[in-house]
Amino acid sequence: MSMSPSMALGAAAFVFAASAAWSAGISAPGAPERPLRSVASFEGIRNQAERSAALFTEAGKVIQSPRCLNCHPATRTPTQGDDMRQHVPLMVANDGNHGPKGLPCAACHGSDNARTFAAGIASVPGNAHWQLAPIEMAWQGLTLPQICAQLKDPRRNGSRSLDQIVTHMNTDHLVGWAWDPGEGRTKAPGTQKDFGALIEAWVKTGAHCPTA
C-alpha cells in the first residue's frame, strides 16, 4: 500500500514530536507517548480567566486529535486515519447518526476493536456506542475557541450542563476509545483521566474560552 504525501508528512511530524518529548525527558516507561500538562502546572497563571482558557487549550490537544475529529466532521460523512481522509467506503450519518438504512455503522464497527487477519490494516475500530456526532456537534473546520463556545452551548452540546460535560469527558466509553483505538492508530494525547481533569479544572475556573 502506498503512502500519500499527507500521510507521510503526518507520520514524520508524529515521529518528530515523539522524539522531542523523549529528549526533553517528559516520557517515562508506561506513560503516554504524548503526555498532557497537569492541572497543577497551570497554577502559575494568576488570572483565573486566563488560566481557564489555558486549561481548555491544553484539553484541545485531545479534542482536535484525529481520534475525536474524524467522527465530528463538518459534513455528514466521517473521515478516517491520522490524515483525516474521507472514510472508505463512503458513509453518511443519516437521521440517527448510525448510517443509512440497511448499512449501519455496526456492519463493520463492532462492540470492540477487532483485529484483522490481512496485511495493511491491523484492526477495525469498534465500540458499543459507535456513531457519528450529531451535526450541531461538528468540530472539523472550527477553531478551538469556536469549539469551546459550542461545548458550552446546551443547544449544541446535547443539552448538557457543564458538570455533565465534565462527567461525559471523564467517563464516557466512546470518548475513552480515543485512548484505546486499536492497533495501527495513534492514541489521543495523555489519558482520559488527565483530559477529564483538565476539563474539570476548566469548568471550576469559570469555563473561559481561549481567544485564539
Partner 1 sequence: MKLKVNGKVHEIDSEPDTPLLWVLRDIIGLTGTKFGCGVALCGACTVHVGGEPRRSCILPVSMVGDADVLTIEAVGGTPVGKAVQDAWLKVEVVQCGYCQAGQIMQAAALLTANPAPDDGAIDRAMSGNICRCGTYPRIRAAIHAAAKQGAV
Interface with partner 1 by CB under 8 A: which residues?
88-92, 94, 100-104, 106-108, 110-112, 114-118, 120-121, 124
Is 17 or 114 the residue whose CB approaches partner 1 more closely? 114
User: What's the min distance (Å) between Cβ of 74 and partner 1?
Assistant: 19
The one-letter amino acid code at 68 reads C
DSSP-assigned states of every residue in 31-50? S-SSPPPPSGGGTT--SHHH
Closest distance of CB 121 from partner 1, Å: 4
Task: Give the angle subtended at the CA of 87 by the CAs of 83 and 91, to the nearest 5°.
Answer: 155
Nearer to partner 1, 26 or 103 (CB): 103
The residue ranges of DSSP E strands in 37-146, in sequence order, are 79-80, 85-86, 114-115, 123-124
CB of 8 to partner 1, least distance (A): 21
For residue 189, give the C-alpha cell. 494525547
Please state the closest distance from residue 132 (CB atom) to partner 1, in A. 14
**60/184 with CB nearer partner 1:** 184
Pairwise CA distance, residues 143 & 168, whole Å: 21
